Structure 1
Amino acid sequence: MTTEDNSQLDLSSSFKAYDVRGLVGKTITADSVRAAGAAFVDVLALKGQTVLIGGDMRPSSPEFAQAFADGASRRGADVVMLGLISTDELYFASGVLNAAGVVFTASHNPAEYNGMKMTRAGAVPLSSETGLTEIRDLAQQYLANGIPAASTTGTQGEQDVLQDYSEYLRKLVDLTGSRPLKIVVDAGNGMAGMTTPAVLGEALLPGLPFEIVPLYFELDGTFPNHPANPLEPANLLDLQAAVVAHGADIGLAFDGDADRCFVIDELGAPLSPSAVTALVARREIARAKALGEEQPTVIHNLITSRAVPELIEHDGGRAVRTRVGHSFIKATMAEEGAVFGGEHSAHYYFRDFFNADTGMLAAMHVLAALGEQEGPLSELGREYEPYVSSGEINSQLADVPAAVARVRAAYTTEDVVVDELDGVTFTAKDGTWWFNLRASNTEPFLRLNAEAVDATTMADLRDAILDLVRQ
């Protein structure tokens, strides 16, 4: 799992804005990971402190986790190996133990990839603006010149956090009083195959009133059944069919590292992440108000449905709009003291979970909402999806700025409000529609998200914008 000359490996090809991700043996190797472990300790001044290390079920994760541990302990950190973990298990451990850490995962990427999601103590995120670039640059030096030994080598131990994680989540959402539910869970051969039986089943804790129908719970980082990326509709087909075939009340799909969750109703139809955001926001606002918080704050990114801020404000909360991307959401969560945050990509963030994202806790809120009333999920979901969305549509273009300029020329009128929080958002003053155009940071793509009061208005708007964009 090494290149011919690791000292010449360019780490900028795997270090991204928020994490590290690369092709195993090509852009990410055991040697580069070892150097990153040493740099992680030095940049964050962790000598003599605890560093938590875990990994997902990808074949390369155990070797990479050990390499990172060797680099970190060589620079004087005391390493605690967490073994097989989901990404939100790392955030839990980092929050509870107040220690920095890393999980080896490439999330929803194909089997030939692996990577690192790093966090400071207390589950505070790391990004290129808050230390990741410095870690990359120092790791590059260590890769070329070797890792110097600290005056005292750190220790290496082990700890299993799955039971503590499961108990913690069960305390945040009490599901014991739910009506009986049949739940199909598609783990996609990812880490939800381990966390679902622990949290929702009887593997570690007393049983809940749920019958769980497992799909692809075998941990297998080669993803033999389908990619562990529920954002792609094709990867939901097995779950949708199974929900209908089993007469289930709900379906849940997790991505490879189980930090994102997608929801399917009893008819086999997806419940949008915006609807899940609104549903969870309602529950978190009510809980915070019951504890004496006058106007709980909820964060949402600018691509979520307009129904989200409307419901937040209707329920006496304060809606704060932010850019797309987990580092923006987490930073705003901390700044605003927000109780909850949601994204259109199915990342859900909780103040009670160290401002970090967890797909499992979001799923538990949906199960609680469904289980405390008698109606089906399709009926409950309609309350949270009053508008019609286009979903995200990508256009590959030779000249992205020119395409945006054409749209600006057509839609900059006195009847439209334009803002530039993230890309360009156009909103009709009469409230009938809005749309956002955002250029990809890494590819020649322009991303369109549109929403309107009905399907005809949305389709006409979408087609008109795409005609302009793709001229």
Structure 2
Amino acid sequence: MTTPITCFKAYDIRGELNTQLNEDVAYRIGFAFAEELSAKTVVVGGDVRLTSLPLKLALSAGLIDGGASVTDIGVAGTEEIYFATKHLGVDGGIEVTASHNPINYNGMKLVKAGSVPISGDTGLNAIKERAEALDDAYVAERLDFYAKGAKFDADAFFNGKAFIATDILAETGQYQRHLNMDAYVSHILSYVDINNFTPLKIVTNAGNGAAGLALDAIEQRLLAKDVPVEFVKVHHNADGTFPNGIPNPLLPENRADTANAVIEHGADFGIAWDGDFDRCFLFDADGNFIEGYYIVGLLAKAFLDKGPSKIIYDPRVYWNTEDIITSSGGTPIKCKTGHAFIKERMRKEDAVYGGEMSAHHYFRDFAYCDSGMIPWLLVAELICTSQKSLADMVKERIEAFPSSGEINSTLKDADAALARVLAKYQPLAEVIDETDGIGLEFGNWRFNLRKSNTEPVIRLNVESKGDIALVEEKTQELLDLIRAE
């Protein structure tokens, strides 16, 4: 390839459409994936973005030409690919998704057999090199073959009209459609005892992404078993134009529709997902957004109540999580932020659960992968069995360990900002933790500062032991120093 492929990142593939990622690149990735893994069977799926279908079909063509048979599970969330890869016993899985990125982006998440993640040094860089090395004329010829002479059209691309026909792929004998939803729903529901459920009203906001399809399947199974759960659905229907904006509930400006619906309908709690629903975000009965940090502690205790185990957590904020784990008889294990690191450490430790404050929740029996459906089901069961509201379950913990939430600062020189902070605070620190970025502890408060790998951004988290005023004071003090350019 005459120009380098620039959409490969540290743990996945993400790029701007047509400039970094198109069907040519998708074909190359498929071919290279099959060759690098010597994969004979691969499962593929895609989110609801209009460009996910053409990219997925081009990817499938590359996989087939690389020697693999393809099972396409259709429109799916990332966790459905994780599940299908292990459940179907295939050699790898690829989800076409850009999650919460802008609409002019797309990407892919790749896993090996058993849903083991593929990152830069575990195969992703090698796939990139193979993809770039493919002969341009060969790629063009193969795409023309699958397209049956159709030409690439940018407008068609953005309107989701794939120029590669599924029937041509099927004629190879190496492409089949297989909807895996029933098996997926059975597994997801195995994490709770539906007999514990008492009447609940839950607001759900799929953000017009892929979550709505999975939720409907879960709802039908619950209805068939007379489980008394009522769903109030907001922005539910899948729509690749995202008429209500790209779903990213981590942004405060994207939370109002869920919060308002919870209040309006008198719901017990609310859920919002990102586009490929590998993260879920929870709201209490008053419409208040619950930081993912406190959900990690809540779920850790839910697992530890069933027996002692190891729990993995990220180092940005952790005092609450550690306190819950140790007091519940578990073993706390701190791990570098990021899904590849968390999953690897969970496998090594055989940990039952891992959680990040960013609302990624990982489960041993889910191939150590993250799910956006399992957490809310566990929380729903906890509400029913404890007869406490979500607010009541986290209120004590928020008061005991208040935190700032993650605050990002875009800077001209992130390294200089980091140096300013360390010069002032490191000599005073009682504990220095370099698990991820720099974490400094000062008795009854601490902070973590991480530099972005891809942009000039510093990410700050502050927490204390029972002193919200101290959190606010130290957060402002640190921000003033970080932003003093």
Could you say which TM-score interval applies, normalised by the shorter chain? over 0.9
For the residue of structure 1 that corresponds to 2:294, the secondary structure is helix
In the alignment, residue 202 of structure 2 is paired with which amino acid? I
Match of 2:408 in 1: 394
Q: Displacement, 1:131?
A: 0.3
Provide the TM-score with structure 1 as the length reference.
Answer: 0.92
2:457 equivalent among 445, 458, 462: 445
Paired position in structure 2 for 1:467:
480
Counterpart of 1:412 in structure 2 is 426
What's the CA shift for 1:466?
1.5
Partner of 1:112: 104
Structure 1 residue 143, shift from structure 2 partner: 5.6
**Corresponding letter in the other structure for 1:130:** T
Alpha-carbon distance in 1 for matches of 2:429, 2:125: 43
From 136, 142, 153, the equivalent of 2:128 is 136
Could you tell me the TM-score, scaled by structure 2's length?
0.90
User: What is the rounded CA distance, in whole Å, between the counterparts of 1:305 and 1:66 in structure 2?
Assistant: 42
Structure 1 residue aligned with 2:380, among 347, 351, 367? 367
Per the alignment, residue 68 of structure 1 pairs with 59
Query: Could you say which residue in structure 1 is the equivalent of 2:44?
Result: 53
Letter in 2 for 1:80: T
- Judge which range, 375-384 or 305-314, deviates more: 375-384
Tell me the alpha carbon deviations over residues 127-173 of structure 1, each in whole angstroms, 9 at most, x when there is no partner.
11110111111111116353599xxx761112111111001111221
RMSD: 1.7
Q: Which of 259, 262, 285 is equivalent to 2:278?
A: 259
- CA–CA distance in structure 2, aligned partners of residues 143 and 278 of structure 1: 51
Q: What SS class does the counterpart of residue 225 from structure 1 fall into?
A: coil
Q: CA deviation at 1:219?
A: 0.5
Task: After superposition, give the CA deviation of every residue in 1:381-426 in whole Å (9 maximum; x if it has no partner).
Answer: 2143222211111222222222222222221235521221111111
The correspondence of residues 71-220 of structure 1 with structure 2, limited to 5 A, is 71-99=62-90, 100-142=92-134, 144=136, 146=138, 155-202=174-221, 205-220=224-239
The separation in 2 between residues aligned to 1:17 and 1:56, in whole angstroms, is 21
Deviation at 1:286, TM superposition (A): 2.4
- State the SS of the aligned residue for 1:378: helix
Once the two structures are overlaid, the 10-residue window that deviates more, 192-201 or 13-22, is: 192-201
Task: Give the Å deviation of 1:227.
Answer: 2.0
Per-residue CA deviations over 1:91-113 (Å, capped at 9, x if unaligned) read 01011122211011101112221
- The aligned residue for residue 152 of structure 2 is none
2:161 aligns with none
Unaligned residue ranges in structure 2 (runs of 5+): 143-171
1:311 alignment partner AA: I
Inter-CA distance 82–9: structure 2 relative to 1 (3 Å threshold):
farther
Tell me the CA shift for residue 305 of structure 1.
3.5
Paired AA for residue 338 in structure 1: A
Relative distance call for 1:55 and 1:204 in structure 2 (3 A) is farther
Counterpart-to-counterpart distance in 1, 2:390 and 2:222 = 27
Post-superposition CA distance 1:223-265 (Å, at most 9, x none): 1013210110111110000000100000000100011000000
Partner Cα separation in structure 2 for residue 266 and residue 108 of structure 1: 26
Pick from 8, 11, 17: which aligns with 1:24? 17
Match of 2:445 among 433, 451, 455: 433
| Distance in 1 (alpha carbons) for counterparts of 2:480 and 2:289 | 28
Identity among equivalent pairs (%): 39
Aligned positions, number: 451
Please name the residue that 1:4 is paired with. none
